[in-house]
Every structure is written in structure tokens, then in C-alpha cells.
Chain A
Amino acid sequence: MTGIAARRLTGGQTEFDIEANTVRRMIAELDQRYPGLGKQIDEGMAVAIDGEIFQDAYLEELKPDSEIVLIPKIGGG
């Protein structure tokens, strides 16, 4: 995970082992461990799954060997 707001809530931890088969469940699990993190992810972060960036990805399925990276949401000009 990157992004200072999220790191503030996790005490600096950036890597997590989580059991979840969708992004929504992964966020819910993170929020349970670190209250407030779910809102931070919802409002300001995107999810990269196996290299593809999803700005909003509640319904995306996660495979057991997926690389999942939480990054700041991206805009453009």
C-alpha cells in the first residue's frame, strides 16, 4: 500500500496478509483491522490487481496469487 493517509492508520505497515475473494471484502477486512482505513481507500485510493488499475473495484474478484497494490487515485488533465 502506498499513500500517507492510509499509512497513518496502519502504524506504518504497508503489506498485509488478508483472506478475501473480492476487493470489497479485502477493504472490509482492512477496515476491521484498522478502523477508518476503509473510508480512506474508498475516497482516495485505487486498486491495482495484477498490474491493472481499477479506480473503483468492489466487485473485482481476487485470485489466490494476485498482486494487489493500493495506490493513490489518479486523475488527469
Chain B
Amino acid sequence: MSYLDKATLKVVGTRPIRPDGVDKVIGRATFGADHTMPGMLWGKVKRSPHAHARIKKINIDKALKVPGVHAIVTAADFPDIPNEEAFVGEGPMNFRDLSRNCMARDKALYDGHAVAAVAATSQAAAEEAIDLIEVEYEVLPHVIDVEAAMAPNAPILHDDMFTQGVEPKPTKPSNIAKKITFTKGDIAKGFAEAEVVIERKYTTKPVHQAYIEPHACVVAIGADGQATIWSSSQGQFMVRAYCAKLLNIDIANIRAVPAEIGGGFGGKTLVYLEPVALALSKKTGRPVKIVMNREEVFRGTGPTSGGTIEVKLGAKKSGRIVAAELVLKYQAGAFAGSPVGPGCMCAFAMYDLDNVHITGYDVVSNRPKVAAYRAPGAPISSFGVESCVDELARELKIDPLALREMNAAREGTKTPYGPTLVNVGYIPTLEAARNHPNLKIKLGKNQGRGVASGFWFNIGGESSAAVHINEDGTASVIEGNPDIGGSRASMAMMAAEVLGIPYDRVRAIVADTGSIGFTFLTGGSRVTFATGMAVTQAAEKVVEQLKSRAAAIWDISAEAVEWKDGKAFPAGANAGSFEPLSLADIAIKSGRTGGPISAEVSINAQGAGPGFATHVCDVEVDPETGHVKILRYTAVQDVGRAIHPSYVEGQIQGGVTQGVGWALNEEYIYDKNGCLENPGFLDYRIPVASDMPMIDAVMVEVPNPRHPFGARGVGEVPIVPPMAAVANAIADAVGARMRDLPMSPPKLRAMLDEQDPPRMAAE
């Protein structure tokens, strides 16, 4: 059934308070580190102090003698998994690499790589034992940056890695795991037709998702061999599947219970601690708890890639882009698997282009293996492309919004990665940006305005949901997705709308892996779309049951009952004359009409609609210090249909804020030995509230007809445009074109010094 007619909706589109909100704000929610058990041991991980080293020997004798120590595990305690790739969880996963990322085998590949772990009766004993584990290393040459890792003489991380995607098949190992290409049209012909050609190189640094809650878990194995895992993650089913694979345990013997999650943004779509705690629990027979500190989060878990972006654009003087070429080199960290693929696919997706050639390289280096981060890969390539489009606009003296409008992807545009776009709202975002009052505000001295757009596919996937009608006429919704962005509220709202009852009569619960059918993780902006679809279908099944129960009470045919505003009515005069029955009236009699009223639906949701965004950023540059102040920020996005507008706006504002941090301050700083020098929030500078103005989130609603309410994913695309929007605004303010992120005060100050004479924006 479709609920696309907004005028008929009573609950969807309103702004109730999320049920988990207050507890999370005041710290009462049970996060990963809050769980405890009787007899629990404390686990602690020993980490490599070297960026690249062969592990020659690990001696645990002294550590085992520390009072309170129960067990120590190393790679020898984990199955040696063969080199195989499978699509389980968040993307193609090589389980050998995942296992070796959780516990180094043979070689430590980055500063902070886990090499052993201890379980002890106290944290102090575990820490003392960690210091007494003797690891004999052969320190090897290391490589940190992506282009250095691609150089012919670079230290090689994996002797068995040969570049895929090149012919003939290489005979020498390389740090380049993969080369990919996407081609549309004839790039040489396109550049031959161009009247203006701009060629630029841009670079970005790896940045961490900077979730406030560090990774944490408790794992217990019962006498019956059943393991229970309590942890903070973006998917309890992902935790279960990965742990089963890495420890060679049947999935049925693991139950994963989701804790409340204090941020993930893609960074908790992997396991780090859970397999280690599971191995320690298996060895000791006791529950084991491990909690990372902030330094471990930075040194031991995955940021997103840094990369280089080489862009070449050819255009007519009218502004029509006739050729677009791109080379992307993305750091994958210690194991293959950067998001260079989606980076390639998203880079030019905002444009209707005839001639495109894109090349991407996936490159390993001695850094933590990258993890997903909102719209993985797209922000990096878009920083280059959207900066270069701005440079083209300036060269052609065309308004940057007008240049985008002239070349914009629209209904029927064939994308450079293949499919033709349908049901998309990019042009409406450009129109809404142009018409926003913020764009009419006159800028002052040293102030500038920057425009950038972005694209993300969004996904659907496997989801299960159940709706139960309780005896008092309230409803319970059971979902399998950890609630990160307010999904309890959204799920309850969709169920309430279908059932025809108020939002506060529906309670949504996030269930463990034993209590609901398989549900793919919370990521890819899929939950409101896919799990929302499952909830809607389950609620519709319940409505059918309610109609048949009313029919039983009235002793008429179920076809003669209609459901409206939460009540059963006789469908016309022929059905008979009965007083309407409310949901509560029917629920209290459910025992006499066939038993409990409930439905569970498991689906694989398809056809997630893509998301487009256009951002406009106003900045003021302090020429004395190089500090950039964000004056105002207008983020326009096609959201399909906002189920809960406040939480959609929150997703947009959060993505923008993280993007501004990526643009201005965030970076990993390594010393000459490849060791991370800033593993903490004092030295790794993320934006705080005082850095940001109120972000104007503007929702354009082009409904996705695949979803009953028209929803499309909203959490990814808002992080795609900000870096270029900020860079373009800085260029507008002071004429300094920053092509290397972050655009931190010292770097901007240095660039202003290079200007001769300094150019300041006109008042």
C-alpha cells in the first residue's frame, strides 16, 4: 500500500520526541562499556609500537605470572583463515584480513596493531601483564602516504598482493591492490572539443569518524557452549557473523545483544574487540570485558581514506562541460579495501556528461585499515571535483550555481558508472539553494561564499521487523537495527500511521539476534528505507488480522470490514450495523478470536533512491591567523519524504559538521617512525558547538516511489559537499585556493603569505 499522499498522513511528518533521547543525553542509556557480569574478567590488548615489523617471537611467561591474570591470547589462538572474500556485512570482506586486523599474525602492519591480549581479574592486573608480554620484533621499513606507497621502491606490506585490474598480470608484488576504471563516451574527442581545459590536483587526509563512544564489549560463553556478546556496534547480526567466522563457531551458538551506540558513522561496521574477548572467554570460561580508550580508538581502528584527486575538466566557453577525467588514489590502510570504487562512481554523478574517464587505485600503507565513514569514498573525490568545477566557473566567469544547473544530472541522465537516473531531485536542490534567503545576504571584507554539490546511492537490503498488538491496544515494534539516528521513533511513527493510532501508543524495541529475523546492519542510510518498509508491511498484516478479528466479533465476513483511524467499521450498509471497534476493543478479545495479534516480516528491500545535495557555505577568513569562521551554512537535500523531519535535519546538520571538521582541522600526524602523534581529541581537532553556526537544513521532497512513504536515505550525502563548499568559500573570500586538506590556520596563513600582493575580497 502507498502512503505517498502527504495530506492524508497524521503521524509521519510530525516531530515527536525520540524515546531513547533523554537517556542518551543524560548518560543513563546502557552503552557498550556499561554492561557487567558476575565473575567478569577485564581484557586488555597489547599493541605494536612499530609501523611495520615482523613478529619473531612472543613470550608470555612473565605476564602469566602476574596475580589475577587468567589467560593471554595471540594469533596462535585464532584459526588461520584462508585468503577468501565474501560479501557479508558492510561490503566485500576478506576474512583473513579481518582476522589479522583483529590480531596480527607474522607481521604488525601499523602502529597500534593488536599483537596479544590479556584477561585478568582487574584492569590494573591486565595492564601490568600487557607491559610484561615480550614481543621480539624485526622492524621493517614503513610507508605512510599513498603516493609513496605506490612508488616502485616502496616497502611492500604483503608479499602476496599483486595489482588486480592490470594486464598483463603483474609478477611482482605491489602495494597497489587494485586498479579500476569507468569510461563513458570518448574522452579524447571530448577534450578536443573543449575551449577551456582546467587540470588540478587535490589531496585529502585520512579522518576518523570520531564517534564519542569508544569500542566496548562483554563476551560470555556458557557451559552449553552458547556465546553471548554485548557490544556497541552498528549491527548485532554483523557482530555475530564476523565472530562466528573468525572463531569458527556455528552462528546458532552466538547471540549478539546490541548496546546503545554512542556514534558509529560507519566506523562500527566492523569488529575489533569482540573476537578477542570471545577467544579470551573461551580460554578462561569467564565473561570478559574489553573497553578501548581514546588512544586505542585512534591507533587501532579505521578512519576513512586519505587520497589524491587529479581532475581534468574540458568545457565550452558557454559553460557546458564536454570532458571530465579523474584519477583517484586512495589509502586503504594496512589491508586492501579502500572506498575508491564508490569514490569513482559518485565523483561526476551530479552531472550529465557525455565523455568521462575515471581511474581509481586502492593502495595499502602502514596505517590502520580504513573503515566506512558516511558515504564512503564520495567526499574525497567530490572535494576534488567540486573544487575544480568552482575553478572552472571562476575561469569562465559563470556563477557556480548556474554552471551546475547548466550541466546538472536529471531524470534520464545516464551516469558515468552505468545506470540511468530515475526519480531524482538534484535540480530542485539547486533551485532551493538559489532561492534561499541566505544567498541574498551581502558579504563583507574577507568573507566569501562557496557552493558544492554531492551524490550518494543509498541502499536497501535485508531487514526484519515485527509488530505485536498488546492486550491494552498499544503496539510493540521489534526491529533488528541499532538505533543511531532516531530509528525507534521513525519505525514507531510508520507503524502508528498504518495502524491509525497515536505515536505514543507504539513502542519500538531494538532486539538481539535471537529475537528477530536477520537484519543487515545500520549503515548506508538504509534503516528508514528498508526496515521501515518491513515495519510498514508488518503493520499492514496486523491491520488485516484486526479486520478479521472484528469480523469474528461481529460474525460477518472479513471483507465486510474496513480499517480507518485505528478502528474497525462495517464496510457499508450491507455489512450490518455495528458500533466501531477500536484497536483496544479488539485486542482485549484477541484470546477469544484466535490468539495474539502479531506479524513479522522479513524482506530484502530493493530500489533505494539516490540522494543529491547542494550546499552553500559562507566563511570569514582572519588574514592575521588563517582562522576560518563558518558564518552560515545552507544545506539543501532531496530527502524523498521526511518521516521525522527533525531527525532528517539532524542527519544533515551532523554530516555538515563532520565535513567542516574534515575541511578545516582533522588529520592524522605521524612521526618519522610511522607512529601516530595525535591520538586524542586535544590534538585531533573535531568541531565543537562554538565552531559552528546554526546549520540551515533545507529539505526538498522528491518521494521515492519504491518506499510506501517515499523515504530515501538521508545520512550519507550531507558529508559529501562540505569540504569543497568550504574551500570554494575561502577562495571567494581571499583568493587563496586551498587544494590540500585540512585547510588549517597555518596552511592558510602560509598561502596568504605567498600572495603578492594579498588579494582580499571586495566589501
Contacts and interface: CB of A to CB of B under 8 A. Distances in A.
Contacts of A77: 209, 265-267, 269, 372-376, 523-524, 715-716
A53 B607 contact: yes
Given A4-B180, A71-B345, A76 B524 contact: yes
A57 B606 contact: yes
A26 to B, nearest CB: 15
B124 to A, nearest CB: 37
B608 interface: yes
Contacts of B524: 74-77
Contact of B179 (A4, A48, A51, A71): A4
A66 B566 CA distance: 41
Main secondary structure of the interface of B (DSSP, over half): loop
A32 to B, nearest CB: 22
Interface stretch (B62-70, B85-93, B494-502, B737-745): B85-93
A75 B345 contact: no
A73 interface: yes
Interface string A43-77: 11000101111111100100000010111111111
B604 A55 contact: yes
Contacts of B526: 76
B606 A67 contact: no
B461 interface: yes
A55 B372 CA distance: 18
B706 interface: yes
B372 A48 contact: no
B92 A44 contact: yes
Contacts of A43: 85-87, 92
B182 A2 contact: yes
A60 B459 CA distance: 17
Nearest to A42: B87
A3 B341 CA distance: 9
Nearest to A7: B165
B525 A76 contact: yes
Contacts of B373: 77
Contacts of B606: 52-57, 60
Contacts of A74: 342, 457, 459, 524
A67 B181 CA distance: 21
A43 B86 CA distance: 6
Interface in A1-36: 2-5, 8
A70 to B, nearest CB: 8
Given A54-B607, A76-B372, 16 more contacts: A4-B164, A44-B87, A51-B419, A51-B422, A52-B606, A53-B459, A53-B606, A55-B459, A56-B606, A67-B420, A73-B91, A75-B342, A76-B374, A76-B458, A77-B374, A77-B376
Going nearest first, the 9 A-B pairs with the smallest beta carbon separation are A76-B524, A77-B266, A48-B419, A69-B418, A4-B165, A51-B422, A75-B91, A77-B374, A77-B372
26 contacts: A4-B165, A5-B164, A43-B86, A44-B87, A44-B92, A50-B420, A51-B419, A51-B422, A52-B419, A52-B607, A53-B606, A53-B607, A54-B606, A57-B606, A60-B606, A71-B418, A72-B342, A72-B345, A75-B269, A75-B524, A76-B90, A76-B266, A76-B375, A76-B376, A77-B269, A77-B376
